[in-house]
Amino acid sequence: MNPLSNAVNPSMGSREIADLVESRHDNVKRAIERLVEKGIIRLPPMEEVKNQSDQYVFEYRVGKRDSYVVVAQLSPEFTARVVDRWQQLEEKAAYSFLPVDYLSALKTLTQEVERRQRLENPLARAAPKIDFADRVSEASGILVGNFAKLMGLRPNKLFVWLRKNHVLMGIPSRRNVPRQEYLERDYFTFRETPIETEHGMKITFTPLLTGKGQAWLTKKLCEAGLLKTITNAA
């Protein structure tokens, strides 16, 4: 990550918050998602990182103010730990940003300008990924809408049910993104597609059901009575 960005916008990972409050990482992520849905905190960015078992997992990058809210929700008694950790992060970010000489300062500024220029054209950066995602989508899983049709359900009805039962997120900025626990159970994957609208660039999210997820969801729909007609006919 760029040092200038660190100095301006330091963040704390949801895994680190879990360690500080002595809680499970999945519990912290669920708490974050609940607070986002209530509009209490902003939706934090998500990134893929390696855990202690050398496996890739998703974690949220939470800002200072919102991290305090999350900790207050989970374990208020650990607030002092988070305050101390933020002091360390901010001191480290400020120190790493200080250039040792004029050339270092110029190099840092140049890198930041280049980074911002790249961010101004997300569609161009994402074009190869879009093409790749289109070609491998079926290998990654089945579209939820196609799964609904196979089950004799209307796609919109299934999406509403998944959001209502907190399987998919319903907030506008991440509508239909599978919740973290279902990604980690390998029931879902998803792909991001940038589209250009009259209001600027917008990212759409397409959930995909894995083979494991199809078996799980079929069972859940039967238990909910949504596949009653199909199962009786069989």
CB burial of residue 67 (10 Å; 0-12, 13-18, 19+): buried
CB atoms under 10 Å from CB of 25, counted, come to: 21
Beta partners for residue 191, in sequence order: 206
pTM: 0.44
3-state DSSP helix/strand/coil % of the chain, to nearest 5: 60, 15, 25
CA dihedral of residues 148, 154, 157, 158 (deg, nearest 10): 0
Q: Are strands 200-209 and 142-143 parallel, antiparallel or unpaired?
A: antiparallel
Do residues 118 and 32 touch, judged by C-beta distance below 8 A?
A: no
The residue type found at 75 is: S
> Which among 59, 229, 65 has a CA at the least distance from the CA of 152?
229
Do residues 98 and 52 touch, judged by C-beta distance below 8 A?
A: no
DSSP state letter for 21: T
Q: Edge to edge, what strands does the sheet with 12-13 contain?
A: 12-13, 56-62, 46-50
pLDDT at 117: 57
Reading the chain (234 residues) residue by residue, the pLDDT tens digits are: 443 344 446 788 899 899 888 889 889 999 999 888 888 888 888 888 887 777 788 899 998 888 888 888 888 777 778 887 887 777 666 555 545 554 555 566 566 666 655 555 444 444 444 443 444 344 467 889 888 888 888 999 999 999 999 999 988 778 888 998 898 888 998 887 777 777 777 777 888 888 888 888 888 888 888 875 433 433
Distances (CA, A) of 181 to 29, 53, 56, 189: 8, 18, 14, 12
